[in-house]
Structure 1
Amino acid sequence: MTKRPVIGTKTMVVSPHYLASAAGARILEKGGNAFDAAVAVSAALAVVYPHMTGLGGDAFWLTYSAEEGRVRAYNGSGRSGSAVTRERYLSEAAIPRRGPRAAITVPGMADSWDAVLSRYGRLTLAEVLETAIGYAAGGFPMSPDQHANTVLAGAALSPEAAAIYMPGGRVLKPGERFVQKELARSLSLLAEGGRDAFYEGEIAEAICSGLAASGGYLTAQDFAEHRGLWCDPVSTSYHGYTVYQAPPNSQGFAALQTLNILENFDFGGIAHGSFAYYHLLAEAIKASFRDRDAVLTDPDFSTIPLARLLDKGYAAGLAASISPSRAAEAVSEPTGRDTAYAAVVDGEGNAVSFIQSLYFEFGSGTAPGGTGILLQNRGSFFSLDPSAVNTLEPRKRTFHTLMPAMACQGGKPAVLYGTQGGEGQPQTQTLLLTRLLHYGMNPQEAVDQPRFVWGRTWGEPTVELTVEGRVEKSVLEELAAAGHKVRKVSDYDGLAGHAHMIAIDENGYRSGGTDPRCDGAAIGW
C-alpha cells in the first residue's frame, strides 16, 4: 500500500536515511538555507550510510539559487592519479574491483561541500558538519540496509576497514550502536581546517601513506591538485518542463535523450503499468544507452557530441525505430549501484538535487591511514582497452553513473528527483517523471509503484529486463513474448534502487516521497 507523501508549505528534505534527513531539517530550523542543509545531509549520509557513500567518494550537484534564478551543476568527481596508467595492470584483464589498486581516483566529495557552501551557503562548514560528527563519535543505530550490505560484502573489506565495520569480527545487528571514532576525527579536522585539511593536510597524507604501504597509486600531489568544477547543466524540454542533468562525465544526458524519444509517443493512449508502458520505456532506454556507451568519458579527453545526441529530430528517428511489439537486441555492461540521492528545498525558493557514492557497496573496501575513510573504487570502471573511449589514462575522470535531476517550470524548480542504482538511474528517473507528469501521481505514489531495470547485472551472462513481482503476471508474459528476457524479482527488490522525489505545486507546497526499500524519511513543514 502506498504511504501518503509528506507535505510542507515552505521546506522539504528527502534522503535514504532518516537521520540524514533530520540533519538537514535541523540546519533549516537554525537559519541555514537549502545549500547549508544539503551539505549537512550529505555529510550525515557519509556517516550513517557508509556502505553507500562517504568522504572517500564523489558527488554531483544541481543547484537552483532563487537570487540568481538559474540552475547550475557542480561536478564533484575525482580524476585518476598522475601515476595511474594501463601499464600498471598489464597482467590483468580488468582493473581490480576491490583493494588499494582499485582506489585510483581522488575523492571529490569534500571539495564539493566547500564549493557549495562557499558560493551559496550561509553557515560555516563547522556548523554544517556538527551533526555528522556527533553521529560518528557517539554512534547511531545500525540500519537494516547497512547490516544487509555488510553481510553481503564484508569479506571484501581490508583488515583496517573490517575493524571499523565489523567490530570484534562480527556484523552488528540492526539497532545496535555503530561508532566511527576515526571518521569523527577526520570530519573534525575538516570542520576546523576546511577543504585544505582533506586535500593538502593530515588527512591526505595519512591516506596516501597508507595506500603506498599496501600497493596503491594515489599520491599527496594528486590530492593537492584536485578541483571540482562549476558548470552549466545539460537540459531538454519535455511537456512544458525544462529538465536538467549534470553534464558529462555524468551519464545524465542519457535520461534527457530518453525523454526526447518518449516525447514522440502519446501517453494518453498508454495505460500505466501495461505492457505498452514498460516495453516503450525499456526500448527508449536501450536506444539512449547505445549512444551513451559509445561516447561517455571525461570530455577533456574526448569530444562528446551532445548537440547531436540531444537533437529532437535525432530522437524522432530513434523513436520511429522502436517496434511496438518486439524487443530490440542490445548489449550492456554492469555498473555500480550503491549510491545515495537526496534533495532539499527551502522557504526562500532555493533547491538542491544531489547524489553521492563509493561506486560499489563499501567502495574499494580500503580505509587507509587510520582516517576511517573508505575510498571509492569508481576508477575500476575505466577500460584497459586502449581503443575504448573510457580507457584508463592519468588525470582522467571516468564514465560516471551519478546523475541528480531537476525539472523546472516557468523558470523555477518543480521536481527534484533521483535514485541509487548505477545503470538503473536513468531508467528509474524516467519512470518517476512519466508517472508524475502523465499519470498524475504524487511523489510518493511515483516512487512506490513497481520498477524495472534493463541491463546485465554482475555475474549474469545475459541482458535481462529485471521486473519487480508486483507487475501483473499477464504483463510479464507479454514482455517475455515480445523478446524481453524477463527476470521476476521480489516486490520491493533492492536491485530497483532507492529513489526519492520532491514536487513543488502551483501553490508552492512541497510534496516529498522516499523509497520504501531504504531507511529514508521526508521531512517538511
Structure 2
Amino acid sequence: TRAVTALNGSGRAPGRLTIDLLRQQQITELAPLHAHAVTVPGACAGWFDLLARHGTLPMAALLAPAIELAEAGFAVGEVTAHFWHDALADRADAANLGELMIDGRAPRAGERFRNPGLARTLRAIADGGPDAFYRGEIAAAIARVIEDSGGVMAASDLAAHASTWDEPISTTYRGVRVWECPPNGQGITALIALNLLEGFELRGQDPLGADRLHLVIEALRLAVADARRYVADPRAAEVPIAELLSKDYAARRRALIDPGRAAERVGHGAPIATSDTVYFCVVDGRGNACSFINSNYMNFGTGIVPRGWGFALQNRGHNFSLDPDHPNALAPNKRPYHTIMPGMMTRDDGSLYGPFGVMGGFMQPQGHVQVAVALIDDAASPQAALDRPRLRLEPVAGKLGIALEDGIPAAAAQELRARGHKVYPGVTGFNRSVFGRGQVIVSERDGLVAGSDPRADGSAGSA
C-alpha cells in the first residue's frame, strides 16, 4: 500500500505518581534506578498489537525460538558480556537481580546463560495473550516488587495500559522522505537536524573532515535543544510538531549556524510565533518493511526483577521533568520523553528506500542523522554508512562536548577545537558503543542490501 504507520507501545507513569508525592518524599531528582522510574511495561501489548494488524503467524510460533533460547541457554557475545558486567555492578541492590546472573555474577563472553524465569514469562504470554501479562500473575508480581522497592505502581496501572497507533512524522531530505515515530519519542530530533543540514551543500565534502563534522554538530545542537524543550506526550501537552518540522522554521534556525565557528550557547527556538535497546529491521519478499525497537533504557533499566519471571523493569520514567511547567513534566498516566526511535525512508515516488535504526539512548537521533547523510549525500552502502566513524554530543560540565570515534582524523579534531568545540577524540574499544549500534536495509531495483553495526553483536542475514 506504500503506507507508513507508527505503533507507540511506550508505557505511562503510575496513576499515583505525582510531583507533589515526590516532594513529600523529599525527592528533588528522579534517580534512574529508583522504582519510581518504572513506567508501565509496554512491549508485550505492542507485540500483540503489531501482530494483529500486520502479522501472519500466531504469537506462540513467534515466541517459540525465544522460549527455547531462554530454557536451553545461549552463548553470550563479547560486547554483551562486557556491558552486562557493568550493568549489574551498578544495580547490586535491585530486587531479585540474581535471576540475571550466573552464581552471583554476570555471564562471561562465550558462556551459556539460561533464564527459566523468562521462558516462563514468554510461555504465559504465548498461551494467554496480553492479559497474561497485564492482568494475571505477572502483573501482580510487577506491582508487588515495585511496592517492595518503594514505588507506587498498582495492578490497575498495568491493566489500563494500551498501545496507540499514531500518524508518523516525516520530512524530505534531498528527495528522500525520512519517517520517524512522533512524540513522545525523540525521532523529531533527527528530522529537525536533517532540515537544517539540507540548506548546506554536503556532497563532495570530506565525510570525516572538519567542515562536514562542524555542520553536523551545530545542526544537532540546535535540534537537541528544541527536542529537550518541546518533546512530550502530545496527549498531555502541546507539542508544535508541524512548526518544528517546517522548512521556514529550519531556515530561521539555520541562520544561527556559523560554518566557521561553534555557537557559544544554543537555546531552543520559538516555532510558534505567539535520550538498553534492541533494534531490528526486516523487509519481506512482498516489499513490506518493519523498523522495530524495544528498550529497557539504561542497560537492565532499574534492575528490579519480578520474582520468578526473569526480566528487569525499565527506567523510562527517569526522562520526566520535575519542573511542573515543563511540557514533559511528570504526571499520572502520562508518557515520558522517550529515546527509542525506529526510522524508515521512502523515495519521492512513495516506494521503499529502507528501514533503519541506531540504538543508543540520546545517541539515536545523532546516529540517524549521520547514517542518513552517509546514505543519501555520499551514496554509501548500508555497511559503509554504519562502519563510518561517528561523533557524539554529550554533556560536559553543563555544556555539550563532542566525543569523536577513533578513525576521525586528528587534523579534523584539531580544526574543530580551533572553531570552538570541546572535543574528545580517539574513543575506541568497547567505548565505541556510545556512538550507537545500527541496522540498515536499502531496497534496490535488483534486491535488498543490508548492513549491521560493528559496534555490537548484531548481524545482517536473509531467510
TM over 0.5: yes
The aligned residue for residue 84 of structure 2 is 150
1:299-318 equivalences under 5 Å are: 299-318=234-253
Q: List aligned pairs for 1:140-219, cutoff 5 A.
A: 140-155=74-89, 156-158=91-93, 160-219=95-154
| Alignment counterpart, residue 291 of structure 2, candidates 348, 353, 357 | 353
Q: CA deviation at 1:271?
A: 2.2
SS of structure 2 residue aligned to 1:111: helix
Amino acid at match of 2:423: V
Q: In the alignment, residue 257 of structure 1 is paired with which amino acid?
A: I
2:71 maps to what in 1? 137
Shift of 1:238: 1.5
**Is the aligned partner of 1:124 residue 2:83?**
no
How big is the shift at 1:491?
Answer: 3.5
| Structure 1 residue 483 corresponds to structure 2 residue 417 | no
Map 1:223-372; keep pairs closer than 5 Å.
Answer: 223-330=158-265, 338-372=276-310
The amino acid of 1:386's aligned partner reads: P
Q: Deviations over 1:314-364 (max 9, x none)?
A: 1112222210111113469xxx5x322210000011100011111111101
Change (3 A) 1:203 1:330: farther
TM-score (norm 1): 0.83
Counterpart Cα distance in 2 of 1:405 and 1:419: 9
Q: Distance in 2 between matches of 1:157 and 1:470?
A: 36
Letter in 2 for 1:345: V
CA distance in 1, matches of 2:94, 2:233: 33
Q: Which amino acid is 1:340 matched to? A: V
Q: For residue 461 of structure 1, report the CA deviation from its aligned partner.
A: 4.6
Q: Deviations for 1:233-254, whole angstroms, at most 9, x for unmatched residues?
A: 0011111211110011011111
Give the structure, 1 or 2, with the largest relative contact order (CA under 8 Å, sep 6 or more).
1
Residues 447-469 of structure 1 show CA distances to partners (whole Å, capped at 9, x for unaligned) of 00100111216xx5542101012
Distance 1:268 1:373, change over 3 A: closer
Give CA-to-partner distance per residue, 1:351-385, whole Å, 9 cap, x none: 00011111111101100232112100000111222
String of CA shifts for 1:415-441, please: whole Å, max 9, x gaps.
Answer: 211111222111111111111111121
Tell me the distance in 2 between the aligned counterparts of 1:79 and 1:165: 25
Q: Tell me if structure 2 keeps the 8 A contact 1:340–1:419.
A: no
CA deviation vs aligned residue, 1:257-296 (integer Å, no higher than 9, x gap) = 1111111111234222111111001111111122111111
Q: String of CA shifts for 1:92-140, please: whole Å, max 9, x gaps.
A: 221121142322x101110110011111111100000000111111110
User: 2: CA distance between counterparts of 1:319 and 1:87?
Assistant: 40
Residue identity opposite 2:180 in structure 1: Q
Deviation at 1:149, TM superposition (A): 1.6
Asked whether the equivalents of residues 173 and 195 of structure 2 are also in contact (C-alpha less than 8 Å), the reply is: yes
The 1-side partners of 2:224 and 2:117 are apart by 41
Q: Secondary structure at the match of 1:478?
A: helix
User: Residue in 2 aligned with 1:424?
Assistant: 363
In structure 2, how many angstroms separate the alpha carbons of the residues matched to 1:293 and 1:215?
28
- Name the residue aligned to 1:69: 2
Distance 2:148 2:257 in 1: 53
* Aligned residue-pair number: 451
**For the Cα contact (< 8 Å) 1:161–1:374, is it kept in 2?**
no
Residue from 470, 474, 486 that aligns with 2:411: 474
2:21 aligned residue: 88
* Deviation for aligned residue 1:506: 2.4
Two-structure CA RMSD over aligned residues (Å): 1.7
Shift of 1:204: 0.7
Write the distance in 2 (CA, Å) between the matches of 1:296 and 1:330: 20
Using the alignment, how far apart are the partners of 2:279 and 2:325 within structure 1? 33
> Equivalent residue of 2:307, what SS?
helix
Q: 2-side partners of 1:339 and 1:430: how far apart?
A: 18
Contact between 2:393 and 2:400, CA under 8 Å: does it hold in 1? Answer: yes
Structure-2 residue corresponding to 1:517: 455
> Which amino acid is 2:340 matched to?
L
- Confirm or deny: 8 A CA contact 2:63 2:126 kept in the other structure: yes
Contact 1:414 1:503 in 2 (8 A): yes
TM-score by length of 2: 0.94
Percent of matched pairs sharing the same residue: 38
SS of aligned partner of 1:354: strand
Deviation, 1:160, is 4.3
Distance of aligned partners of 1:269 and 1:349 in 2 relative to their CA distance in 1, 3 Å threshold: closer
Other-structure match for 1:25: none
Distance in 2, Cα, partners of 1:412 & 1:438? 19
One-letter code aligned to 1:376: Q
